A and B are shown apart, each in its own frame.
Chain A
Amino acid sequence: MRGREALMYDPDPADDQREQVLRAAAACPVQALHVDRMTTQHRTVRPELPPSPTGGDDDFKRNGRIVIVGASLAGGRAAGVLRRDGFTGSLTLIGDEDHQPYDRPPLSKQVLTGRVSAEGTTLPHLREIEVEWLAGTPATGLDLAAKQVGLADGRRIGFDKVLIATGARARRWPNETEAGLDGVHVLRTLEEAELLRERLDAGVKRVLVVGAGFTGAEVASVCRGLDLPVTVVESGAAPLVGALGGVVGAVAADLQRENGVDLRCEVKVTSLEGDDQGRLTGARLSDGSMVEADVAVIALGAVRNVEWLRNSGLAAGPWGVATDAGCRAVDVNGLVTDDVFVAGDVARFPHPVYHYQFMSLEHWGNAIAQAEIAAHNMLSDQAHRWPHLSLPVFWSLQFGVNIKSVGVPTFADEVVIAHGSVEERRFVAVYGYQGRITAAVTFDQAFWLDFYRRLIEQAAPFPPDFRVVDRQDGARPVPAEVSQRVVPAQGATVMVTGHDPGERRVALANIQDEARH
Chain B
Amino acid sequence: MKPTSVYERIQKLSSRADPYPLYTELRRTPVSLQEDGSYVVSTYEEIIALLHDPRVSSDRRNLASPPSPQQDGLPPAFIGLDPPEHDRLRRLTMRHFGPPDTPGKVAGMEGELREIITGLIDGIADRGRADVVDDIAYPFPVTVICHLLGVPREDEPRFHQWAEEIVETLGPGEGDQEERAGRRQAAILALGKYLAELANAHRDRPGDDILSGLVTYKGPDGPMSDIEVITTSALLLVAGHETTVNLIANGTLTMLRDPVLLERLRNEADLVPHFVEELLRYEPPIQFLPNRVALDDITIAGVTIPRGSSIVLALASGSRDPAHTKDPDRFDPDRAYNQHLGFGGGVHHCFGAPLARLEAQIALSELAHRLVNPRLVKDPPEYRPSSTLRGPRHVEVEYDGVVPPAR
Footprint of B on A, CB under 8 Å? 1-4, 19-20, 22-23, 25-27, 31, 34, 36-38, 41, 46-49, 419-421, 424, 426, 428, 447-451, 454, 466-470, 499
Which residues of chain B (284-342) have a CB below 8 Å from chain A? 295-297, 307, 324-326, 335-339
Give the distance to chain A from B198, nearest Cβ to Cβ, in Å: 30
Provide the residues of chain A in CB contact with B52, threshold 8 Å.
Answer: 447-451
Chain A min CB distance to B81 (Å): 9
The answer on a CB contact under 8 Å between A2 and B103 is yes
The answer on a CB contact under 8 Å between A36 and B270 is yes
B209 at interface, CB cutoff 8 A: no
- Chain B residue nearest to A5 (CB atoms) is B99
Q: List 28 A-B contacts (CB under 8 A).
A: A2-B100, A2-B103, A4-B103, A20-B107, A22-B273, A23-B357, A26-B273, A27-B353, A27-B354, A37-B336, A41-B336, A41-B337, A48-B335, A48-B336, A447-B52, A448-B52, A450-B48, A451-B52, A451-B54, A454-B49, A466-B55, A467-B55, A468-B54, A468-B295, A469-B55, A469-B57, A469-B83, A470-B82
Taking a contact as CB atoms under 8 Å apart, the answer to whether A447 and B346 are in contact is: yes
Contact assessment for B103 and A447 in the assembled complex, using a CB-CB cutoff below 8 Å:
no
**B337 to chain A: which residues have CB within 8 Å?**
31, 41, 46-48
A33 to chain B: closest CB distance in Å? Answer: 12
Chain B residues in 8 Å Cβ range of A41: 336-337
For the complex formed, measure the closest distance between the CB of B60 and the CB atoms of chain A, giving whole angstroms: 14
Contact B269 A26 (CB under 8 A): no
What is the distance, in angstroms, from A388's C-beta to the closest C-beta of chain B? 21
Q: Which residues of B contact A (CB under 8 A)?
A: 45, 48-49, 52-57, 82-84, 87, 99-100, 103-104, 107, 269-270, 273-274, 276-277, 295-297, 307, 324-326, 335-339, 346-347, 353-354, 357-358, 361
- The interface centre, meaning the residue of B83, B103, B296, B358 with most chain A CB atoms within 10 A of its CB, is B83
A449–B49 Cα distance when bound, in Å, is 11
What CA separation (Å) do A420 and B84 show in the bound complex?
Answer: 7
**8 Å CB contact of A469 from B295, B297, B326:** B295
Residue of B nearest to A449 (CB): B52
A374 to chain B, nearest CB (A): 21
Partner of B277, one of A27, A37, A448, A468: A27
Is B99 touching A4 in the complex (CB atoms < 8 A)? Answer: yes
Contacting pair A467 B296 (CB below 8 A): yes
- Which residue of B has the minimal Cβ distance to A37? B336
CA of A46 to CA of B354 in the docked complex: distance in angstroms?
A: 24
Contact B276 A26 (CB under 8 A): yes
* Closest Cβ–Cβ distance, residue B265 to chain A (whole Å): 14
Asked if B54 and A2 sit within 8 Å, CB to CB, the answer is no
Residues of A near B48 (CB, < 8 A) are 450
The listed residue with most A CB atoms (<10 A of its CB), out of B55, B104, B307, is B55
Q: Are B53 and A451 in contact, CB atoms less than 8 angstroms apart?
A: yes
Q: Which residues of A contact B346 (CB under 8 A)?
A: 447
Q: A448 contacts B54, CB within 8 Å?
A: yes
Q: In whole angstroms, how far apart are the Cα atoms of A46 and B337 in the complex?
A: 7
- Identify the closest chain A residue to B295 (Cβ): A467
A420 to B54, CA, bound (A): 11
Which of B52, B276, B295 has the most chain A CB atoms inside 10 A of its CB? B52
In the complex, the chain B residue whose C-beta lies closest to that of A42 is: B337
The 3 closest A-B pairs by CB, nearest first: A26-B273, A468-B54, A3-B103
Closest chain-B Cβ to A368's Cβ sits at a distance in Å of 15
Kindly list chain A residues whose C-beta atoms are within 8 Å of the C-beta of B339: 31, 46
Give Cα distance in the complex from A27 to B347, angstroms: 18
Residue of B nearest to A421 (CB): B84
Q: Do residues A426 and B87 form an inter-chain contact, with CB atoms below 8 A? A: yes
A499 surroundings in chain B (CB, below 8 A): 45
A46 to B353, alpha carbons, bound, how many Å? 23
Query: In the complex, are the beta carbons of B55 and A26 less than 8 A apart?
Result: no
Separation of A20 and B55 alpha carbons in the complex (Å) = 37
Q: Please judge, given known A-B contacts A1-B100, A22-B273, A469-B57, whether A49 and B326 are in contact too, CB under 8 Å.
A: yes
In whole angstroms, how far apart are the Cα atoms of A31 and B354 in the complex?
A: 15
Bound CA–CA A451/B325 (angstroms): 22
- CB nearest to A34 among chain B residues: B336
Task: Kindly state the separation between the CA atoms of A466 and B53 in the bound complex, as whole angstroms.
Answer: 11
Q: A4-B99, A27-B354, A31-B337 are in contact. Are A419 and B54 (CB under 8 A)?
A: yes
Q: Which residues of B contact A420 (CB under 8 A)?
A: 83-84
Beyond A46-B337, A48-B335, A447-B346, whether A26 also contacts B274 by CB under 8 A is yes
Q: Could you say which residues of chain A place their CB within 8 Å of the CB of B277?
A: 26-27
A1 to B104, CA, bound (A): 10
Give the residues in chain B near A47, CB-CB below 8 Å.
336-337
Q: How far is the CA of A264 from the CA of B99 in the complex (A)?
A: 33
Most buried by B among A23, A34, A41: A23
B99 touching A1, Cβ below 8 Å: yes
A235 to B52, CA, bound (A): 38
Q: Report the minimal beta-carbon distance from A18 to chain B, rounded to whole angstroms.
A: 8
- Report yes or no: A470 in contact with B99, Cβ–Cβ below 8 A: no
Compute how far the CA of A27 lies from the CA of B274 in the bound complex, rounded to whole angstroms.
8
Known: A20-B107, A419-B54. 7 other contacts (CB 8 A): A22-B273, A23-B361, A27-B273, A426-B87, A447-B346, A470-B54, A499-B45
B-chain residues with CB within 8 Å of residue A426 when the two chains form the complex: 84, 87
Q: In the bound complex, how far is the Cα of B274 from the Cα of A447, in angstroms? A: 25
Q: Which A residues touch B336, using CB under 8 A?
A: 34, 37-38, 41, 47-48
The residue in chain B whose Cβ has the minimal distance to the Cβ of A31 is: B337
User: Does B295 lie within 8 Å of A23, measured CB to CB?
Assistant: no
User: Is there contact, CB below 8 Å, between B103 and A470?
Assistant: no
Q: Kindly list chain A residues whose C-beta atoms are within 8 Å of the C-beta of B357.
A: 23, 27
Of A31, A48, A499, most B-chain CB atoms within 10 Å: A48
B29 to chain A, nearest CB (A): 20
Report A-chain residues with C-beta under 8 Å of the C-beta of B307. 467
Q: How far is the CB of A337 from chain B (nearest CB, A)?
A: 33
Chain A residues contacting B99 (CB-CB under 8 Å) are 1-4
Complex-state Cα separation, A46 to B338, whole angstroms:
9
Interface centre among B270, B277, B337, B361 (most CB of A within 10 A): B337
**Which of A26, A41, A468 has the largest count of B CB atoms less than 10 A from its CB?**
A26
- Residue on B with the closest CB to A43? B339
In the complex, A426→B347 CA distance in Å? 13
Distance between A3 CB and nearest chain B CB, rounded to angstroms: 4
Q: Give A229 to B99 CA distance when docked, in angstroms.
A: 27
Contacts of B87 on A, CB cut-off 8 Å?
Answer: 426
A510 to chain B, nearest CB (A): 19
Residues of chain A lying within 8 A (CB to CB) of residue B295: 466-469
CB of B107 within 8 A of CB of A470, answer: no
Of residues A3, A34, A454, which shows the largest number of chain B Cβ atoms within 10 Å of its Cβ? A3
Q: How far is the CB of A206 from chain B (nearest CB, A)?
A: 27
Most chain A CB within a 10 A radius of its CB, from B54, B99, B339, B361: B54
CA distance A140 to B32 in the complex (A): 61
Give complex CA distance A31, B274 in Å: 12
Residues of A within 8 A of B358 (CB): 23
State A256–B87 Cα separation when bound (angstroms): 24
Contact A469:B273 (CB < 8 A) given known A23-B361, A447-B346:
no
**CB-based nearest A residue for B323:** A499
Tell me the minimal C-beta distance from A212 to chain B in angstroms. Answer: 25
Q: Which residues of A contact B273 (CB under 8 A)?
A: 22-23, 25-27
Q: Give Cα distance in the complex from A80 to B54, angstroms.
A: 36
User: A19 to chain B: which residues have CB within 8 Å?
Assistant: 269
Closest to B269 in A: A19
A38 CA / B324 CA spacing, docked (Å): 20
B36 to chain A, nearest CB (A): 23
Which of chain A's residues has its CB closest to B102's CB?
A: A3
A158 to chain B, nearest CB (A): 34
B30 CB, min distance to chain A CBs, angstroms: 14
Chain B min CB distance to A456 (Å): 14
